[in-house]
Amino acid sequence: MAEIHHKLAKLKPFSDFYLSDSSHGGELLRGLNALRKTKTFCNVFLKTRAEHQGFPVHREVLVAFSPYLKELCENDSATGNSKEILLQELSPSILVSIIEYFYTGVITITTENAQDVFNAAALLQLQTLQTVSENYLVKCTNPQNCLQVMSLAQKWNSHQLLESARQCMGGNFTKVVESSDFPSIEAKDLKAVISGDYLVVSSENEVFGAVRRWIESDREERLRYVPLLMSHVRFRFLPREFLTTTYKHDSVMSVSPLSDDFVHEALMYDTLSPEDQQRVHTARVIERWCSQSTEMLLLVGGVSREPEHNHWTFDPVTSQWYTVSPLQSPRHLFGMAQCGGSLYVFGGLKNMTGDKFLTTVELYDAKLNKWKSVKKTMREARCRFEAVSVGDIVYFVGGMCNDPHQNTLEMYSPTETVEPVKMSTPKLPRYDHCTTVLDDKIYFIGGCTRGHKTLRDVECYDPDQNTWSEVAPLLVPRTGACAVTLDDTIIVIGGTNSKKPLSSCEIYDRNKNKWEYIAPMSECRDHCTAACFNNKIYVFGGSYGRVVQNSVECYNFKTNKWTIVSHLPAMKHGFKCVKTVVNRSLVQPIVFEQV
């Protein structure tokens, strides 16, 4: 009303006045809901069972919101004139929630009711609610419910939900196969899972055993699926004794003439020359991705004297270094984040002169050990900034660009178009800060601001509320530090206080809103980089004045001690590291003398 009064005050005499009352829709719904609650002017009952008393509602509200109910009333004269509408697919509790949604636009989706809400929204063609509940289910799919979610996705032709459920099953295959619901899976879904790259098994015996169990659960009906499903079993990786002797007596394998072909192919493949092996175009002879993939610490970008040889990954378990594929565009002082299971690099500087700020984005394809350009770029070029992800969104915080003191916050979605949102900005512009995420909130720590002032300030951004709040300051000013989140704590490591590089480290206690010192590193490090692996922190490189550090230190929480565990294969700075999956069959070990 304040805005309307303001316009009236400025109105000239005898002028037309255009009234647009933004509160009108809400008041109308509140009025209708009040009538419903007192059963006033209600002209139809919604029921889930014929014998059920039903819930009194207004037919006009139903047909206005639900295309399904509108068509039902238009095309069915009995329903259109009846005082009852039967919705047998819905439970009474969900129907109550849907009615409340009709009249208020409000509904609570929980892990317990999400499947029922999605089913009701899809049935009644409530597009917004269907989209929201579908996305909620994608995030809440787990080994216990993935088969039910898969069935629901098939019913309503939801590709996104179906893919999510299949991936969940593939990643938790052993657990799902052991469940009582497993025999109910459809043949096409089982085929999709066992043929997919996301299948995780300890051996191919698990895949073969799962197919046998599924067929034997309804043998007479399902024997016809033996050729289809067995064609996606990697027979080459089954025990040789089974391939040479046992399979002929197997009650499932013996029903299909193709079984002999699959086994012969597996036995003969290793006898072929490398050239002939290249001509065999079937996944049955290829090792599964789960057997080729392994987690390591990947070092990305940076500057060295030999740029063509400075792309490495480090295995903390064996302390072995490997070479990996380089970025398509050399860069340093860039941002890096993992989002949606993929690793991305953003922006940065292309060369040492610092006159080329980048907006380009690259994606790491671990399976092929290659970096690929991403068509969607950053809106603003940046360097000396941080990139972090919360959910499916990457946030770029601070840094330097055309404005040497960048104070903006940018949202980036690798897969979807993010509608422009006015983002609130932090209190202080800064660069060479460090950033990490704790409980889906972004912590913006230290760095430099105008006048090259080194900061102790820490700010926290809540993406859900689009608000910033101040956090207890660091014990000492730091710029060029790095930060990690481990066991619900934030650890800030090294950096410089503008006078000298630091070896000290601080840990944040969020319950007390207080920073405390932990053991210092063995060496002082400015602009180092860190990542967590097996509940330990690994810190790489950095500098001490004009000296580039090439050692690698590991922090053990249990002992509160740092230990030098390795050295970089060559001098390098301006890079970042991250724990990620690499293809161990495509990385080459590096042999060098540790200093």
Nearest of 278, 226, 219, 294 to residue 256 by alpha carbon: 226
Amino acid at 558: K
What are the beta bridge partners of residue 501?
A: 496
**Contacts with 151 (C-beta within 8 Å, 6 or more apart), sequence order:** 184, 186
Domains and CATH numbers, the chain: 23-169 (3.30.710.10), 195-289 (1.25.40.420), 292-589 (2.120.10.80)
With a CB cutoff of 8 Å and minimum separation 6, the contacts of 480 are 432, 494, 495, 496, 526, 527
In 10-57, DSSP assigns E strands to 44-47, 55-57
Tokens of 15: 């002028």
- Going 549 to 554 to 557 to 559, the CA torsion angle's sign is negative
In the 8-state DSSP scheme, what is residue 573? B
Give the CA distances from residue 231 to residues 81, 203, 280, 351, 399, in Å, rounded to whole numbers and listed in that order: 55, 17, 14, 51, 53
Alpha-carbon distance of 413 to 532, in angstroms, equals: 25
Got the DSSP string for 449-471? EGGGEE---EEEEETTTTEEEEE
Query: By the 8 A CB rule, do 214 and 190 touch?
Result: yes
Write out the H or E segment, with its range, that includes residue 67.
Answer: helix 67-75
- Closest by Cα among 262, 257, 198, 248 to 223: 257
Question: pLDDT tens digits, residue range 313-351?
Answer: 999 999 999 999 999 988 989 999 999 889 999 999 887
Q: Please tell me the distance from the alpha carbon of residue 78 to that of residue 81, in angstroms, as a whole number.
A: 6
Q: Which two tokens stand for residue 219?
A: 């043998």
CB atoms under 10 Å from CB of 246, counted, come to 12
Residue 530's beta-bridge partner residues?
A: 539
Q: Where do runs of H (alpha helix) occur along 38-158?
A: 59-65, 67-75, 77-81, 92-104, 114-124, 127-140, 146-155
Residue whose C-alpha is closest to residue 290's, from 578, 581, 532:
581
> What's the confidence (pLDDT) of residue 79?
54
Closest CA to 100 of 32, 161, 48: 32
Q: What is the 3-state secondary structure (H, E, C) of 396-428?
A: EECCECCCCCCCCEEEECCCCCCCCCCCCCCCC
CA distances from 416 to 134, 393, 419 (A): 16, 9, 9
Instruction: For residue 196, give both structure tokens.
Output: 């997919």
Alpha-carbon distance of 113 to 97, in angstroms, equals: 10
CA distance 170 to 494: 41
Q: What is the pLDDT of residue 221?
A: 94
Name residues of the chain where pLDDT drops below 50: none
Selection from 444, 480, 454 nearest residue 573 by Cα: 480
Bridge partner residues of 323 (DSSP)? 312, 588
Task: Give strand pairing partners of 275.
Answer: none
What pLDDT is attached to residue 11?
61
- Exposed / middle / buried, residue 187 (Cβ in 10 Å: 0-12, 13-18, 19+): middle
Tens digit of each residue's pLDDT (9 = 90 or more) over 458-515: 999 999 999 999 999 999 999 999 999 998 899 999 999 978 899 999 999 988 999 9
Which distant-in-sequence residues (6+ apart) come within 8 Å of 175 by Cβ? 143
- Angle subtended by helix axes 187-195 and 204-216, to nearest 10: 180
Where does 245-382 have alpha helices with state H?
258-269, 274-278, 289-292
Closest CA to 535 of 472, 465, 486: 486
Q: Look at residues 378, 347, 400, 576 and name the one whose alpha carbon lies nearest to residue 484.
A: 576
For 175, 295, 434, 522, the CA distances from 576, given in Å and listed in that order, are: 36, 16, 12, 20
DSSP string for residues in 191-223:
HHHHHSTT---SSHHHHHHHHHHHHHTTHHHHG
Q: What is the pLDDT of residue 1?
A: 61
Which amino acid is present at 552? Answer: V
Which amino acid would we find at residue 430? R
Measure Cα distances from 568 to 51, 178, 208, 318, 517 in Å.
75, 45, 43, 15, 27
